[in-house]
Structure 1
Amino acid sequence: MAAIKKYQDKDGNTRYQFQIYLGTDPLTGKKKTTRRRGFKTKKEAQIVLSRLELDVYNHGLPAKNDNSIFSDIYQLWFTQYQHTVKESTWATTKRMFRLHILPVFGEYRIAQITIKDCQKAINQWFNEGLAKYHTLMNYVAKVLDYAINIDLISENPAKRVIVPVNKNDRSRKNLENYFDKPELQHFFECLNDDDNTPQASVFFRLAAFSGMRKSEMLCLEWSDIDFVHHTISVNKTQSRGDMARLLVQTPKTARSNRTVFIDPKTVQILQRWQLEQKKYLIRFGFNINHSNNYVFANENNEMFQPSKPRKWLEHTLTKYDLKHVTVHAFRHTYATLAFEAGASVKSVQDQLGHSSYRTTLDIYTAVTAKQKNEATQKLASYLNF
């Protein structure tokens, strides 16, 4: 009788596990064991253990389908996975497998994949500079977990790799991806003088003064804006589905589904743009009475591709030799300047829809550290001895 043991998982939760002797493999003469873990109660572990013991007693050593290859098991797993997530999520996952995982593991026999194979793969992705190298290995682990569930293998080698650590301070670079107040003012001066589409000025004004995500703004409809109360209802997001088609979906988290506030001048800018847009729509025969017309739309009155704001931005930054930032920088700019203006962490978190308090606090900490440094310099200059 195998012993059921209690342990603590990485989150500190009590879980149960057992290891059972399966017998001797007649092909190799080696003793075989299997381990099961992650049971929430001892009773759950006991039920599975009893079934395994009965199976071994009746049938001997479980047979392994050594001919099953990774790509086949991936297809079985992916069919089930599609029913558990949104299309944009499974489409991204499918792309990650096609581009990175299947070229490495696709033809491997499931039963022959080793810790060494998995370690080599994650090291390769890391050395290639793939930002989500750890996510790729997590997906490999999910497929191998599925192989365990259908009794093809007994252990998951992907869960025993040593994950490389990126020593580049990417978080610091992200924190520096913003405009300070003079830089933001100069950017809008250049943008307004440029021959960019008027939509670019409105887009980046709203981004900088509301903190909304690009994906939220690109599917924003006029009916989402309350010009009386100066608010915007953020209730959807633009994303990619299968075959890279554009989708409009509900936000990923409850916090992302929120009401954001806009200042009076931004309200006026949006109202002026709405009038300009209506003139264009009338001129080209579009119905201006649809409340679901997009705030930012192409010549066919359809959503822009997600690359469009980046093209607007790169054009202006290059033409006027400005500091290089990303479109996401305007969201970070909002948070940074709001903190410098004295806003609370809670109010900024609510406005941005950060699901993690830590994300907001990281920006706040960087701002306050800068302010403390300026205070010391001002004091030293004042005392001057």
Structure 2
Amino acid sequence: MIASNTDSCIKRDRAAIFHDCNRAFSCCIGRRKNNIPGSCRIHVHTVIAAEFQTVVDFYPMIILFIVNSFRIQHKHEGIISKHLNPYLENIKLKDLKPLHLQKIINMLSESGFATGTMKQIKMTASQILETAIDNNLLLRNVFKKIAIPNKPQKERRALTEKEVKMITENWNGHRMSLGAMIMLYCGLRRGELIALEWKDIDLENRIITVSKSAQINPNQPKIKLPKTEAGIRKVPIPEVLMVALRHNQKQDGLVCTMTDGVKMMTGSGWTRAWDSYLYYLNMQYGGKPVTGGKGVTWVIDNKITPHMLRHSYATLLFDAGVDVKSAQKYLGHSCLEVTLEIYTHLSKFKEEQSVKALDSHLRDQGMEKASKARAV
């Protein structure tokens, strides 16, 4: 049961009173009235919260009220079961304190979790309490001002020249080879590639039309429109990709499919296919099964992700001198600042590499030793 008092003239003040019986609740209200000036009005909101006494009891409500897609539902359920349940499941809503979530966040930070992950966990926990407030089960969101520790953001890298060559040379050795080539040389996102159909590829005019994306669910992929208008775009096909497209060309259907060659890829299907593709590349370049049949020796980076290929496409545009406005269009960025940030980062990186190359050249010429000898 919740009671609140309101000053009709100046300010609104609230207090929460929880009791299991009406008699005890009335006594508390009476005591509070004695301390309130006569000009103030008291509004009493009574809520029977037996069904949602603990935090874990209220979890299903968060899915009911704030989730609008299977992917988001899956994400919230994962956060709740993995990060919130173990620490909050037996705590009553009325007993929650900021320190409960702050302790969880601090532990995750010490364990090396990314800032983005911790923000997602805070958002889910906070939305649970906001939903409780909307249903008159709480008066205040105690998780709203939880601090997220600042951590240096991990730099997303592009592929090395060796890795680009590796993917390009193996354009037809695996069922994911063509998809990898499209992401690398046209910059498509994973969801855009999964939804790509052969009718979207105009080989005569060397254009790929990106007009849709796949919502990546574990077993229920769905087609959706891009988040912004910029996501709908026409991307030029470079000559290096034309050979692979012509070799694999079909009249219709999806470009990348499940193993049956027809069905759209699911989230789990993509993971299996991508892992298999990296395994294939590794074996092509000298990887060998470990004695006993348990795993393989990796001679390539087994952490290569689809986004690295897209980032490499941005690097290729920069190296080719493509202007930032055109790059924004090809990459499907809704905001020019995002493309500018990538170009600025690449420019600084190239400058650093140039300085290192100059130093290396001078060392090879013996200039460094000569200058040191002169100084002595």
TM bucket normalised to smaller:
0.7 to 0.9
Gap change, CA 1:121 and 1:311, over 3 Å in 2: same
Alignment-derived partner of residue 209 in structure 1: 185
Q: Scaled by the length of structure 1, what TM-score is found? A: 0.72
Q: Displacement of 1:316 after TM fit?
A: 0.8
Task: Work out the CA distance in 2 between the residues paired with 1:113 and 1:233.
Answer: 51
Q: Displacement of 1:76 after TM fit?
A: 2.2
Equivalent position SS for 1:157: coil
Alignment-derived partner of residue 41 in structure 1: none
For residues 82-93 of structure 1, the aligned pairs below 5 Å read 82=67, 85-93=68-76
Q: Deviations over 1:295-350 (max 9, x none)?
A: 12244222342211242024313652235532321111111121011112222222
Equivalent position SS for 1:306: helix
Alignment-derived partner of residue 295 in structure 2: none
Alignment-derived partner of residue 98 in structure 2: 115
Q: Deviations over 1:100-150 (max 9, x none)?
A: 223332332111110111111222333344431221111110110111222
Identity over aligned pairs, percent:
22
For residues 14-93 of structure 1, the aligned pairs below 5 Å read 19-21=12-14, 26-27=27-28, 56-57=42-43, 59=44, 65=49, 68-82=53-67, 85-93=68-76
RMSD of aligned Cα (Å): 3.3
Q: Displacement of 1:378 after TM fit?
A: 7.1
8 Å CA contact 2:79–2:124 kept in 1: the answer is: no
Alignment-derived partner of residue 8 in structure 1: none
Matching of residue 228 in structure 1 with residue 200 in structure 2: no
Matching of residue 349 in structure 1 with residue 331 in structure 2: no
Equivalent position SS for 1:255: helix
Q: Scaled by the length of structure 2, what TM-score is found? A: 0.73
Gap change, CA 1:63 and 1:220, over 3 Å in 2: closer
Q: Deviations over 1:251-302 (max 9, x none)?
A: 3333223322212442342122115xxxxxxxxxxxxx6x3x1112244222
8 Å CA contact 2:166–2:281 kept in 1: the answer is: no
Gap change, CA 1:257 and 1:2, over 3 Å in 2: farther
Q: Which moved more, 1:112-121 or 1:247-256?
A: 247-256
Gap change, CA 1:62 and 1:337, over 3 Å in 2: same
Matching of residue 239 in structure 1 with residue 215 in structure 2: yes
Alignment-derived partner of residue 313 in structure 1: 278
Alignment-derived partner of residue 263 in structure 2: 302
Q: What is the letter of the counterpart of residue 178 of structure 1?
A: A
Q: Which moved more, 1:315-324 or 1:153-162?
A: 315-324
Task: Work out the CA distance in 2 between the residues paired with 1:30 and 1:64.
Answer: 21
Gap change, CA 1:271 and 1:187, over 3 Å in 2: closer
Alignment-derived partner of residue 249 in structure 2: 274
Matching of residue 368 in structure 1 with residue 347 in structure 2: yes
Q: What is the letter of the counterpart of residue 369 of structure 1?
A: K
Task: Work out the CA distance in 2 between the residues paired with 1:367 and 1:107.
Answer: 50
Task: Work out the CA distance in 1 between the residues paired with 2:358 and 2:216.
Answer: 52
Gap change, CA 1:379 and 1:105, over 3 Å in 2: closer
Matching of residue 156 in structure 1 with residue 141 in structure 2: yes
8 Å CA contact 1:2–1:20 kept in 2: the answer is: no
8 Å CA contact 2:159–2:308 kept in 1: the answer is: yes
Task: Work out the CA distance in 1 between the residues paired with 2:345 and 2:232.
Answer: 27
Q: What is the letter of the counterpart of residue 272 of structure 1?
A: H
Match of residue 305, structure 2, among 321, 326, 335: 326
Equivalent position SS for 1:259: strand
Alignment-derived partner of residue 179 in structure 1: 159
Q: Which runs of 5+ in 2 are unaligned?
A: 1-6, 18-24, 34-39, 286-298, 372-376
Alignment-derived partner of residue 228 in structure 2: 253
Alignment-derived partner of residue 135 in structure 1: 120
Alignment-derived partner of residue 47 in structure 1: none
8 Å CA contact 1:88–1:247 kept in 2: the answer is: no
Gap change, CA 1:104 and 1:319, over 3 Å in 2: farther
8 Å CA contact 1:215–1:306 kept in 2: the answer is: no
Task: Work out the CA distance in 2 between the residues paired with 1:148 and 1:351.
Answer: 44
Alignment-derived partner of residue 278 in structure 1: none
Gap change, CA 1:319 and 1:145, over 3 Å in 2: same
Q: Which moved more, 1:208-217 or 1:298-307?
A: 298-307
8 Å CA contact 2:158–2:309 kept in 1: the answer is: yes
Give the structure with higher Rg (CA): 2
Alignment-derived partner of residue 89 in structure 2: 106
Q: Displacement of 1:226 after TM fit?
A: 2.1
Gap change, CA 1:267 and 1:2, over 3 Å in 2: farther
Q: What is the letter of the counterpart of residue 372 of structure 1?
A: E
Gap change, CA 1:129 and 1:330, over 3 Å in 2: same
Q: Displacement of 1:223 after TM fit?
A: 1.5
Q: What is the letter of the counterpart of residue 348 of structure 1?
A: A
Q: Which runs of 5+ in 1 are unaligned?
A: 5-17, 33-52, 276-288
Q: What is the letter of the counterpart of residue 105 of structure 1?
A: L
